[in-house]
Structure 1
């Protein structure tokens, strides 16, 4: 393990794990492992915040816009900043870019477009609406974004990026020295990240696949009876989180951290 500087996620993301990341990372860093792999990396809410780097790190997402952004950020950070340097926070620009087919763009332009849309979309929702609030500045500000991107660029050094189905990623990288962290769509929110990318039947497949791996895994998911039934063979840790809602109140959510081992929290 090598100590590294953590970084913040480069953009909001639905289910970005801001409230739960510290608990998850504490358990990740209590496990000896040579390979760390995330089948559902999203915007890196856990991946980027870790402080210890094993020999191999793998960031995977079935959404090609995600993996393209991280690859460009890793290898072409100065060029990405040049593309975004004159971008402004604008509903009209947001709507224009949302209508652009990313297939018609270069990889660099695609990364800039995706990052711009995610920074400005309300709640970090894919394909969401333009987000603005009367009590704070714009969601897109290059002066605030630049240090975040630079820190992520440095943290992503030597990371391997994959654009595979989650099950293919697990099969490809499984070994006795591998640790997987899985953050799949929540039960009841299977289409939150795009229709056809994940369906409810995948949970049974996930439980079966994880029951056969040689390595270790940590999985975070919302606490539902169906989830408890499907993953009954593994260890459950109950977590209660309080989320602030738009109206100014708060709601309590029950979540589970599921694993196939007993975490030795506090190793590092």
Structure 2
């Protein structure tokens, strides 16, 4: 990439599965703002299923994704480095409540990395609402089986090609910011929303992390975008940064839409 060109066009791809807080509705607004900020590197401390990362339309030379959840990091490593073997592992998997319950009860530490990735993807594809904890078998009365390898294969192949050359980390967000911060680096942060700190598992994130994050962001050499729910506490904690309100409408399983207000915080 020539030195005077900071980013190049890239074809957006779909995430591999639903994920709680996956930014399906807000992604377009976030990506428009990311594209408008000059940057020579892009990094996400809370990548989840890549709801923003994979939908971006521009990429710089340096791209880094991170998630403290080892299942997330392992899935992306497998998709990046062992895609053909992964597809072989998934070949005979079907949509089944019994199989969902069996895999949910399975200890992932007893599995190979390929098996772990297959288990995690299967559960995320089938769980209600993209939940990470307290998962239950989701039912779509008007659709087909949600784990259809014929349809899923092209999605995973697109991700495999998209994340070639992307660095994959599994760090606490603080360590991730310290390791990758530099002038020209743009961070997009998508932490658990205020009041929902345990949605991604006990001990993954705490209420105190919001204040710690505000302090860490003030000292960045690079720049950032941060998305959160619009709460008075959020506005107080991140006072001093640019805070933009965005109206969104969410629905679950075809139910009536719920209007909520979120914020995109910049610095």
TM-score, with structure 1 as normaliser:
0.95
Root-mean-square deviation (Å): 0.9
Map 1:193-208 to 2 at 5 A. 193-208=200-215
Give the corresponding residue for 2:10: 4
Q: Which of 140, 151, 155 is the aligned partner of 1:148?
A: 155
What SS does the corresponding residue of 1:37 show, helix, strand or coil?
strand
Structure 2: tracts of 5 or more residues without a match: 1-6
**8 Å Cα contact 2:129-2:252 kept in structure 1:** no
Task: Report the alpha carbon displacement of residue 33 of structure 1 after superposing the two structures with TM.
Answer: 1.1
In 1, distance between residues paired with 2:111 and 2:40? Answer: 37
Q: Give the match for residue 253 of structure 1.
A: 260
Q: Does 1:23 align with 2:60?
A: no
CA contact (8 A) 1:37 1:179 kept: yes
Q: Deviations over 1:217-246 (max 9, x none)?
A: 000000000000000010011100111245
Secondary structure at the aligned position of 1:189 is classed as coil
* 1:224 corresponds to: 231
Please state if 1:62 is matched with 2:68: yes
* TM-score between both structures, scaled by the size of structure 2: 0.95
Q: Which residue matches 2:4?
A: none
**In 1, Cα distance between equivalents of 2:177 and 2:55:** 22
* Counterpart mapping for 1:154-165 below 5 A: 154-165=161-172
Q: Report the equivalent of 1:102.
A: 108
**Deviation of 1:5 (Å):** 1.6
- Deviation of 1:7 after TM superposition, in Å, equals 0.8
What is the SS of the residue equivalent to 1:9?
coil
Q: Write out the 4+ residue segments of structure 1 that deviate beyond 4 Å after TM superposition.
A: none
Counterpart position of 1:50: 56
> What is the deviation of 1:150?
0.7
Aligned to 2:131: 125
3-state DSSP of counterpart to 1:88: coil
SS in 2 for 1:33: coil
2-side partners of 1:112 and 1:134: how far apart?
A: 25
- The residue matched to 1:57 in structure 2 has which SS? strand
Give the conservation status (yes or no) of the 8 Å contact 2:186–2:224.
yes
Question: Which whole-Å CA distance do the structure 1 matches of 2:196 and 2:22 have between them?
Answer: 14
Count residues with an aligned counterpart: 260
Note the C-alpha offset of 1:2.
2.1
Question: 1:4, 1:165 → 2: CA distance?
Answer: 28
How far apart are 1:99 and its partner, in Å?
A: 1.0
Q: Any idea what SS the aligned residue of 2:88 has? A: helix
The DSSP-based 3-state class of the residue aligned with 1:179 is: strand
Query: Which of 170, 176, 194 is the matching residue for 1:169?
Result: 176
